[in-house]
Amino acid sequence: MEQRVVTLFHHSLEATMNAGEILAPLIAEASEMVVHTLLAESKVLLCGNGVSGALAQSFCSQLTGGFQRERPGLPAMALNSDGVSMGTVAQNHGSADTFAHPVRALGQPGDLLVIISSDGRDSNLVQAMRAARDRDMGILALTGGDGGDCAALLDTHDIELRVPSDVAAEVHQVHLLTIFCLCDLIDSSLFGGYED
C-alpha cells in the first residue's frame, strides 16, 4: 500500500509539471484578464459542479477574503455556493439553467465568468457560458481532457486553461495549483511585488 501512495505522488508530480510547462503563459494571460476586469470596476462570477464547484468557491474566497497578504477584498461571487437558489432555479427553470439564470440576473457587460470543469461537458456550465456571451461578459474556462462542449463555445477573447489529462483527480489538483498561481499574480499586479 505504501508503494501505491508513492506511485500516486509520482503521477501527481508528473501531471503537474507537464501542465505547468504548457499552461504557464496562459495562466499569466488569464491573470491579466482578471486584473483588467477588476480595474474596470467589474466583477468575477465563478461556477463549477462537485469538486470543481469547491474549487470555484475556493477561488472566490481567495479573491474576496485575501490570498497570502493583507489586502482589500475583490468583487467575486461563487454561483454554486447558494444551494437554496440553485435548487429554486433547478425546480423552476430546469437543472441546465442553475448557473445561467444567476448569470443573466447578476452579470453585466465587462464582468468575467470563470467556469471550472474537469472535462468541460457539464450542460449547466455550457448554458452559463451562453448567458455570459449574451451579457457581453468575458469567459475564463479551467478544463481538462479535450475541453468538451465548453471549449467549443470559447472565442478569441476568452481564455481556456486546459489540463492535458483525462484523469479527473489530476485535473482537479492542477486546477487548484492554477488557482493559487492566478491569485498570486493577481495580487502582485494589483498590490505590487511578488511574495517569496
Of 127, 122, 128, the closest CA to residue 145 belongs to 122
Contact of 22 with 144, CB cutoff 8 Å: no
Cell readout for 123 is 450542460
* 5 CB neighbour count, 10 Å cutoff: 9
Type of residue found at 39: L
Written as one string, the DSSP assignment of 36-84 is: HHHHTT--EEEEESTHHHHHHHHHHHHHHH-SSS------EEEGGG-HH
Mean pLDDT within 109-127: 97
- pLDDT at residue number 96: 76
- pLDDT at residue number 11: 87
CA gap 132, 174 in Å, rounded:
25
Cα torsion through 105, 48, 21, 190, rounded to 10: 40
Query: Percentage of the chain surpassing pLDDT 90?
Result: 83
- pLDDT at residue number 46: 98
Mean pLDDT within 102-120: 97
Judge whether residue 36 has pLDDT over 70.
yes
